[in-house]
Amino acid sequence: MELDDITISRAITESFMKDFMDAMEVEVAVVGAGPAGMTAAYYLAKNDIKTVIFERQLRVGGGMPGGGMMFNRIVVQEEGKKLLDEFNVATREYSKGYYIADSLEATSTICSKAIKAGAKIFNLISVEDVMIREEDRITGLVLNWSATSLAGLHVDPLTIRSKMVIDATGHASEVCHIVVEKIGARLRTDAGNVAGEKPMWAAVGESRLVENTREVYPGLIVAGMAANAVFGDPRMGPIFGGMLLSGKRAAELAADILSKD
Ligand code: 48F
């Protein structure tokens, strides 16, 4: 068979557009394909909840592939190991209660599981705003190609509708910041705004993460490092159990809220 270049181009364009159009009405839109966002998407999709992730970067994984200071290993504790076991990511006990995993295996496996469960991941797309309706409830996202802002081009965005949004943007907690800046300090935190993360303290940071994974504004759940940043708790560095557990918790919360709709 002689390959036709144009058929290749048509195949890519048509299948991408079909999926992108389908992603314009979803139940849950996750911002950020780091460990928390991809874990949330996996559990949601596994539960037959229509889920999409938008990721700014070319590659997925957020801070996970880089491990600790570019040593591509991650550490998880007992509870995190259980999730890595569920994903079938190999772990090795380093000392009692501390498990090591290959950060690339963890990233690629969780990504693959999320996609195979039915979640769609769109990379190279940045979320630049949220969409609101009556009473300022968040009802979707405003998207643009990451390349437009990199190039400094003035191009208007497009929108998607979603019943719930998960802010899994890591340290930056970008969606929560957008809500505070554009709607006012009405997050469900003490001061109504993003408190800002505290310096490194793995034990406290990890222990606070699942509790901080909450619906912080109608239609908006915060997960992963963003949750500690929003509630003013410490960062925790290259221990990743909390990120996975927070992603799972965000999925459970979203499913619960959707079931009451
Ligand atoms: O930073 P990231 O990995 O967040 P996470 O899942 O995990 C945090 C850890 O990696 C690490 C840590 C462990 O102790 O603290 O930092 O909470 O992944 C966040 C992803 O969100 C993307 C960003 O490129 C990254 O891949 N992202 C951030 N803002 C946007 C975005 C945005 N506005 N639109 C789309 N993607």
- Structure token pair of residue 18: 């079909």
Cβ 244 vs Cβ 83: under 8 Å: yes
**How many angstroms is it from 168 CA to the middle of ligand 1?**
6
Residue among 261, 165, 259, 173 at smallest CA distance from 220: 165
Nearest CA to ligand 1 atom 20: 32
pLDDT of residue 185: 86
* Average pLDDT over every residue of 235-242: 97
What would the mean pLDDT of 76-105 be, rounded to a whole number? 98
Residue 245, both tokens: 């557990």
Judge whether residue 206 has pLDDT over 90.
yes
- If you average pLDDT over residues 112-123, what whole number do you get? 98
Contact 98, 78 (CB under 8 A): no
pLDDT at 261: 80
CA dihedral 188, 194, 200, 205 (to 10 degrees): 20
- Cα separation of 193 and 180, whole Å? 6
If one counts every other C-beta atom within 10 angstroms of the C-beta of residue 42, the result is 28
Is the CB–ligand 1 distance for residue 111 below 6 Å?
no
Cβ of 237 below 6 Å from ligand 1:
yes
Separation of 226 CA from ligand 1 center, angstroms? 8
Mean pLDDT (whole number) for 86-105: 98
Beta bridge mates, 125: 145
For residue 97 the two structure tokens come to: 């209660």
In this structure, what are the phi and psi dihedrals at residue 132, rounded to the nearest 5 degrees? -125, 160
> Helical H runs in the chain?
5-22, 35-46, 78-87, 103-117, 146-151, 174-183, 202-212, 225-231, 241-259
pLDDT reading at 111 higher than 90: yes
Is-above-0.95 flag for pTM?
yes
Quick one: average pLDDT of 198-222? 98
**Percent of the chain at pLDDT above 90?**
99
Quote the distance between the C-alpha of residue 167 and its chain's center. 6
Q: Quick one: average pLDDT of 66-77?
A: 98
Whole-angstrom distance, CA of residue 33 vs CA of residue 52? 10
Determine the distance separating the centroid of ligand 1 and the alpha carbon of 68, expressed in angstroms: 15
Tell me the pLDDT tens digit for each residue of 7-56.
999 999 999 999 999 999 999 999 999 999 999 999 999 999 999 999 99
In this predicted structure, what is the pLDDT of residue 44? 99
Local confidence band at 230 (pLDDT 50, 70, 90 cut-offs): very high
Verify whether ligand 1 is closer than 6 Å to residue 224 (CB atom). yes
Q: Give the pLDDT mean for 229-242.
A: 97
